[in-house]
Amino acid sequence: MDSTTVIAAVSIITAGITTGFGTMGPALGEGRAVASALTSLAQQPDASATITRTLFVGLAMIESTAIYCFVISMILIFSNPFWNIVLAHAGK
């Protein structure tokens, strides 16, 4: 295997692992946040506006972690910074 094939394989595997782990954590966090919010709403229905607003802000912050992992995996697949190094060494 040449270095181009190795970098391509490692990039694809790393992108898959990044996306896999990067979406599992936020999914579990969002589930726990919604479950806690529903428990709070059941106990204190008067505070539903505050709980709902806080829930949506928290869910947006949790979801941003998954989006960052997705962006990193897309960078690894489509604009890998290691390709320039490999191509520069291959041209010498």
Query: Per-residue pLDDT tens for 9-68?
Result: 888 898 899 899 999 999 999 999 999 999 999 999 999 999 999 999 999 999 999 999
Judge whether 86 and 3 are in contact, CB under 8 Å. Answer: yes
Q: Where are the domains of the chain?
A: 3-91
pTM over 0.75? The answer is: no
Helix (H, G, I), strand (E, B) or coil at 50: helix
Judge whether 82 and 32 are in contact, CB under 8 Å. Answer: no
CATH classification (class only), 3-91: mainly alpha
